[in-house]
Structure 1
Amino acid sequence: MATEVFAAPAPQPAGTSESFTVDGLASGMYYFAVRATDETGQRSELSNSVTAQVSPYAFTDDFNDGNADSWQEQEPADWNVIDTGSNWLYRASTLGMAASWTGPLPLKDQAIEADVRYAAGTYTCGLAFRGDGDMNSGSYYYFGIYPNENKWKLYSVNGGDWGDVDNPLGQGDISLSPGTPYRLKAEATGNAVMLNINGQPLMMQPIESSDHPWGKAGLWMAVGEVDYDNIIISGS
């Protein structure tokens, strides 16, 4: 199937070359051909086609460079890159909610994973994905662990509204302990979300693609202290 991309070049002398950028392409192979249209609507034949490979987006951060320059942090949390002596961590500490985002917009099919370790007294910590806007008034999915309940939960947040917090999109039991790192992974592909902790699949949840069709990925926590490390984000 062919899709036309229209552009209006400025008149140039014969032999002059011009370039155009096509945005919003998913990863994959694309074939391009060109034809011209004059003022009367007459169209030239198609040119020979050329190919272009669009690579999927990939981002990693282990914070061993000592900074979090790729992240957009939200107050009122205190976000810091911490040197433990053996490695570097990204630490959030707050009495409220906290989020830190990275990556371009839009990403439709995307995955985010990270090592997550919480201190005693933390309410929740985890991953946000397909995010649009900020943590207070934006829309996104949140996959997190809840230490006081020994549960994991998946929520759909719409314009800052968490809906019925007692009825998340998905939830399950998990034995949790402060100071223990957990590898959390959330993947949104098409109309499905897949969740994973420590390499163990938790669920595949059908979703409404219109709720959060694309967006950025990031980290989210509330009340306590949480360390994040070895973050991988991919998507297209």
Structure 2
Amino acid sequence: MESLIGTAIAVGIGLCIVGLGIWQMVTGNPRLLHSYHYATTPAAELAPLARETGVGLVAAGVGCMLMVPSVLPAWASVVGVVTMIAGIVVMLASIIRHNGGLITGGDTGMLAGMTPKTRLLVCGVFGALGSLFGIAPGAYMMATGDVSLLHSYHYATVAAADLPRLAFCEGLCMAGLGVSIFLCVFAAAGLTTHAPRPRWAIAIEVAGIVLFAVSLAALLLFIPYFGGSLNP
């Protein structure tokens, strides 16, 4: 019963994501994105942004639906993870290419009236706080070897001897996600202005996105690698 529920949830979420992606591809309207993802996008590039991120959404949705090992072969989960991560990367790359950054606001928004140093301070503080959502549980898992922060079905079939290693690997990935959050938020300090935007901010944001993609992919792939399941 749990397996069927898990499959239904994965397929349902995947179909919703695919539907949203198709809508963006057909309409060329990016309004399903957060406004700061297209706040500084030239009007002529709004439709391409919508269609490209729509493609990414479709890929992410298909990847989500493939992660149902109770119905599909085990290798399908790996394909699903790769497809989903690829879709996310396509979306993020498209936003950066057309909008100049993941979070921009031009002369509007919370950071608009701040001096450069104040922006760095504010983004640094918010980034550090946000990173704790990944770093804190990650550090705990690496230090203790405790996998209980994962869903039980993630490690129910993992050999007892491998549980500490699974905990360490998952914790390391969570910490990586936390660091990526900090990098992306901190980069916003230099990306919430009109072009040309500083190269250091673009470099930090790209590094954050790459780290996010690698950490998320590894986080998901380590589970089946150690014999666990991504789905109830």
Question: Higher relative contact order at CA 8 Å, sep ≥6: structure 1 or structure 2?
Answer: 1
Structure whose alpha-carbon radius of gyration is higher: 1
- TM-score higher than 0.5 here? no
Q: Give 1 or 2: higher helix fraction.
A: 2
Relative to the length of structure 2, the TM-score reads: 0.25
Relative to the length of structure 1, the TM-score reads: 0.25
